[in-house]
Structure 1
Amino acid sequence: MSGHRDQWFGARTYAQHGDDLAILNIFHRLGVDKPSYLDVGAYHPFDLSNTALLYERGSRGINVEPNEAQLAAFIKARPDDVNLCVGAAPVCGRMMFHHTASDPGRFTFDVATAATLGIVRGVELPVLTLNAIVDHHTGGVWPDLLSIDVEGMDVDVLQAADFGATGPRIVIVEANCGGGDTSADLSALMTAKGYVLHSWAGHNMIFVRAADEARIWGE
């Protein structure tokens, strides 16, 4: 479907709640045509993806997906991205990646979350902090968008991140993966890091850097 001629971003959405369209609209308001991205817990190159539509529109970025089988799809479908088979964690090292009885999108490094989903097996994998990924692959300059969905560890991983002077302009993060509502913790954490809650998309919170949020509203 090509959509109506007046649909700015087309008629297609890949994200679970139309998150990609919301993100594109914010970047449009900020004058960013092809935002770069870091997609952590990327899951699939198209299914339920917050960044697939951006890729189709010419954006490029980094996909972090610890499930080797899922990452293979990224390598095939999105070869111009950097595709990493590692996990994200508060500190670099190795952690047990729990495969659960649910779909691969719910596999997790978080033991408590995995226990509620039924652990099938575990595989020890390397994990990196967000800063380690950014330092190595983008020279320490954060991409425009950070999309993070790490099944129960989102608050801890973000807490450990130092955004410095070049933090992502937009951060989208899941506030409820089935293991409990973390929206209050995320709001407090992101406010302390200089972000404003712009909107919700389903279970996902969309934060915008405070200076950019002021620009959007002409303040």
Structure 2
Amino acid sequence: MRILRLLHLLGPHGKIKVRFGQWGEDVIVHRNFDKQKHGFYVDIGAHHPFAHSNTARLWLRGWTGVNVDANRKSVDVLRRVRKQDHTIWAAVVSDKIAAERDTIEFFSEDHTDLTGTVVQDMASERGKQKSVTVPCRSVASIIAESAELAPDGIDFMNIDIEGMDEEAIASLADWPHKPRMIAIETYAQTIPAVMETGTFRIMSDNGYDFRYQVGLTSIYMRKDFHEGR
């Protein structure tokens, strides 16, 4: 499957010509890691191996990493496709909640299939939400687990968890490892608005430069970031 997808994606000059990210964020990510053949990513709120994925291009190039999603069906698809990755079924919560409990009630109305098509559950067709008990984890614990799988460090981290993004990085100062690049949704409409957010303050206070705004996604780089290894 992987080879076939690569053949379809390769253009006349042997380079990938498509984008997977919702706003094209993956094009920026790919460009900054263009000289790095192998690397490690952490995708929180991974959703799908290809649809709206900011790590798909990296995976196609041979990178590996950790994927996290609260939707069990999304996790099943990720595990089927990205067999070399470590995929975690969990809802991301604050450090405080993660310290108090191991599971949380998660409400879901739909999921995506292997092609990225949204598939509604029967419950949602009747206007009802489906509640399931889901394991919960803090970002700090996921980073610690990921660091054990990445002896050379975490190169790229994507965070897309529907409004919980800023809370997810609140403990950034205490993370055992800080990724070289982080893409995170802020929902701010302008660059000045981004710079007024708590996300910007947290990232700046922890040694990151705000480099790009693509759609609703802000991309930060560690100040010692260098292209390639």
Give per-residue Cα distances to partners, 1:166-189, cap 9 Å, x unaligned: 310000011129xxxx83221111
Which secondary structure state, in structure 1, belongs to the residue aligned with residue 36 of structure 2? coil
- Counterpart pick for 1:125 among 131, 134, 139: 134
Give per-residue Cα distances to partners, 1:139-190, cap 9 Å, x unaligned: 286521110011111111111234657310000011129xxxx832211111
- What residue ranges of structure 1 are gaps of 5+ in the alignment? 106-117
- CA-based RMSD of the aligned residues comes to 2.7
Instruction: Report the count of equivalent residues.
Output: 194
- What residue ranges of structure 2 are gaps of 5+ in the alignment? 1-8, 113-126
Instruction: Name 1:134's counterpart in structure 2.
Output: 143
- Counterpart pick for 1:53 among 57, 61, 64: 57
Instruction: Name 2:198's counterpart in structure 1.
Output: 185
- Find the aligned partners of 2:128 and 2:140 in 1 and give their Cα distance: 29
- Find the aligned partners of 2:140 and 2:57 in 1 and give their Cα distance: 25
TM-score (norm 2): 0.75
Change (3 A) 1:125 1:96: same
- Find the aligned partners of 2:79 and 2:186 in 1 and give their Cα distance: 28
Q: Does 1:12 align with 2:18?
A: yes
Instruction: Name 1:62's counterpart in structure 2.
Output: 66
Residue type of the partner of 1:22? I
- The offset of 1:4, in angstroms, is 4.3
Per mean C-alpha deviation after superposition, the further-off stretch among 58-67 and 157-166 is: 157-166
Task: Write out the 4+ residue segments of structure 1 that deviate beyond 3 Å after TM superposition.
Answer: 161-166
TM-score (norm 1): 0.78
Q: Report which of the two structures shows the higher radius of gyration computed on alpha carbons.
A: 2
Instruction: Name 2:10's counterpart in structure 1.
Output: 2
- The offset of 1:202, in angstroms, is 1.2
Instruction: Name 2:39's counterpart in structure 1.
Output: 35
Instruction: Name 2:77's counterpart in structure 1.
Output: 73
- Find the aligned partners of 1:163 and 1:37 in 2 and give their Cα distance: 19
